[in-house]
Structure 1
C-alpha cells in the first residue's frame, strides 16, 4: 500500500504527528517533513494544527475517505492473494501412462478434493517415453508408471508390482499347467504357448521390451504374432479370440468379458510401477498424501485383479487342468 496513505491515516487516527510517528516507528521530524512534502504536491493542506491536536481539513477528510477505501481494497487484495497461494500450494499436476491409475482417476481426485477442498488434482495420460520431457518443464510434480531406460536423470521410487499373465482365448486348447493351490492360478511355461498366434504390443512399449527379455531368458521365440499399441487393445484382441496376449495383471479391469479367456502364470518377472521425480525433490504434505493415496488404491486394485483372474477359472470348473 502507498506510504502516503498509511502516514495520513495514522495521523488522522492519532490526531497527533508525534503519536503517529511512534505507531509508524519513524521519527516525528521525518513524518512532519513527509507530510509537508505531500501537502505541497497536492497543493492542499490535509491537517490543521490546533491546541487540541492535529485536525483534518475538508481536503483532509476527503483524502481519508478515499484512503480508507483504498486500504480496505488493499487488505482484500492481500487476502485474495494469500488464498490463491494456498490454492496453488494444494494444486498438483501429475502425469501417468495407461495403467490401473487410469481406471481410478476419478476416485483419486475425489479423495484429494475431500482432503484439500481449496486445491485441485489434475492427472494427465501421456506416453512413458515423454515423462522426462514433461517433468523438465516443471509443470508436473511427478509421473506415475514404469521406469524406462535412459531416465536416470530422475529419481524413481517403486510403488507396486504386477505379475505378467498369459491370456488365452477360450477357443484355444487348454495349456499344460499345474495348480498347486486353489488360490493360485495355473502355472504354465511360455514354450507351451509359443506355437499359437499371439497379440503383442509394439516394440515402443515398456511391456513389449519386458516380454522380449522374458523370451530371451526362456529361449522362446514367438513368430506368429500381430502387434497392437497397448495392453488394452491386446485384451480386446484376446476377447475376440484373435490370439494369446501377455499383459500385466493390473490391466485386467480393462477387460469387458473375462469369460472369453483364461489367465495363466508363466514367469517370475513383474511389471513394476512407481513415481518418477526430479533429483533432490522434497515432497510437500499434499504430494505425500497424493502418493500414499495412489499407493493404497493400486495395491487394492492389485488384489481385485488377482481375484478376477482366479474367478475365470472358478467359473470354468469343467475346464480345469
Structure 2
C-alpha cells in the first residue's frame, strides 16, 4: 500500500492536478482524491494546498515527496540488482542524452545493445546538459552523457572521448574568402585566433548547455565580449544558420563530421585549441547496474 501511495502523491505533484494525475494513473479522480485524503488524515497534515491554482504541495507535502522519491529509488536499485542476477535477461536502462548525442552517438550504440540484450528495456531521456546532470543526480537516469568539468563531490564518471570545438563562419565572411575555404570542409582547417572575429555576431547556445559558458570564457580570455545575434537550443540550427550567412558559432567537431545540411559553414581551428571531454556521469555512490556497465563498455568499444 505504501508504494502505491508514494506513486500516487508523486504523480499528483508532477501533474499539479488530481484529474490529470488520475488519468495518468488509470483510476477515477474520486478514488484518487479519497486515497490522498485518508493519507492526509493518517499523517495529520494536508499534503496539498487545494486553494492554489495550479495545485501545489504544502511544506509537509514536500517532506513526504522527498521521502517517497528516496524509497522508490531504493526499490528501483534493488530491482536492478535482482535483474543482474538474471544475467541481463530482463531489466530496464534509462539513459540521459542531449538530442545531438542521441542522433550522432547513441544511434550507433542502441541497435547493437538491443541485439545483444533484447530483454533489456531502453528508455532515452533527452534534455540539455545541465538538466541531464540533474536527472542523473536524482536517479531518474542510470547515467547521463555529459562533459567535464563536473561536480566530483556529487558525481562519479567515466571518460569516453575528447572533441575539438571549431569556429564556424559564413561562406561570405572575410576570413572564409581570405583563406579560400570550401563550405563544409573540416579537414585540416586553418588556425586563427578568436580575437579575429571579435566584430562578428555569434549564435549562442542557451544557458542549459555548457557551450554557452564556454563561448564567454574563450572570448574573455581573448579580451572581448561577444556580440550575440540570437540564442538557440539546437547546435544543428546554429550550424545551418551560420551556413546561411548569419553570424559565427562554436561547434564540436563530432557534430560537424556527422551532420549533413544544405548550406554548410566554413570551419576554422582556434589557437589555442579548445577541447572538451565527453563523459558518462552518474550519482556518486549510486549502484550502477550490470546493464549500464555493459552499455558503457559497448560505447567505448564502438568509439575506439
Q: Secondary structure at the match of 1:260?
A: coil
Change (3 A) 1:200 1:130: closer
- Separation (CA, whole Å) in 2 of partners of 1:139 and 1:197: 38
Q: 1:243 Cα shift?
A: 1.2
Q: Which of 239, 264, 277 is matched with 1:260 structurally?
A: 264
Q: Contact 2:163–2:254 at 8 Å: present in 1 too? A: yes
Q: 1:264 Cα shift?
A: 0.4
Q: Contact 1:177–1:188 at 8 Å: present in 2 too? A: no
Normalised by the size of structure 2, how large is the TM-score? 0.61
Change (3 A) 1:142 1:260: closer
Instruction: Name the structure 1 match of 2:234.
Output: 230
Q: Secondary structure at the match of 1:99?
A: helix
Q: Secondary structure at the match of 2:161?
A: strand
Structure with greater contact order relative to length (CA < 8 Å, sep ≥ 6):
2
Q: Contact 1:98–1:126 at 8 Å: present in 2 too? A: yes
Instruction: Name the structure 1 match of 2:299.
Output: 294
Pairing 1:19-34 to 2, within 5 Å after superposition: none
How many residues of Structure 1 are paired with residues of Structure 2 in the alignment? Answer: 216
Instruction: Name the structure 2 match of 1:74.
Output: none
Q: 1:102 Cα shift?
A: 2.8
Normalised by the size of structure 1, how large is the TM-score? 0.58
Change (3 A) 1:149 1:100: closer
Q: Secondary structure at the match of 1:91?
A: strand
- Separation (CA, whole Å) in 2 of partners of 1:221 and 1:244: 14
- Separation (CA, whole Å) in 2 of partners of 1:269 and 1:88: 43
Superposed CA RMSD: 3.2
User: What are the ranges of 5 or more consecutive residues in structure 2 without an aligned counterpart?
Assistant: 1-81
Instruction: Name the structure 1 match of 2:66.
Output: none
- Separation (CA, whole Å) in 2 of partners of 1:233 and 1:160: 24
Pairing 1:249-288 to 2, within 5 Å after superposition: 249-252=253-256, 253-257=258-262, 260-266=264-270, 267-281=272-286, 283-288=288-293
- The Cα offsets for residues 1-57 of structure 1, whole Å up to 9 and x where unpaired, read as xxxxxxxxxxxxxxxxxxxxxxxxxxxxxxxxxxxxxxxxxxxxxxxxxxxxxxxxx
Task: Tell me, yes or no, if structure 1 residue 172 matches structure 2 residue 165.
Answer: no
Of 237-246 and 132-141, more deviation after overlay is shown by 132-141
Pairing 1:173-252 to 2, within 5 Å after superposition: 173-174=174-175, 184-223=188-227, 225-252=229-256
Instruction: Name the structure 2 match of 1:61.
Output: none
- Separation (CA, whole Å) in 1 of partners of 2:240 and 2:298: 29
Q: 1:130 Cα shift?
A: 2.2
Q: Contact 2:216–2:226 at 8 Å: present in 1 too? A: no
Instruction: Name the structure 2 match of 1:160.
Output: 161
Q: 1:247 Cα shift?
A: 1.2
- Separation (CA, whole Å) in 1 of partners of 2:84 and 2:147: 36
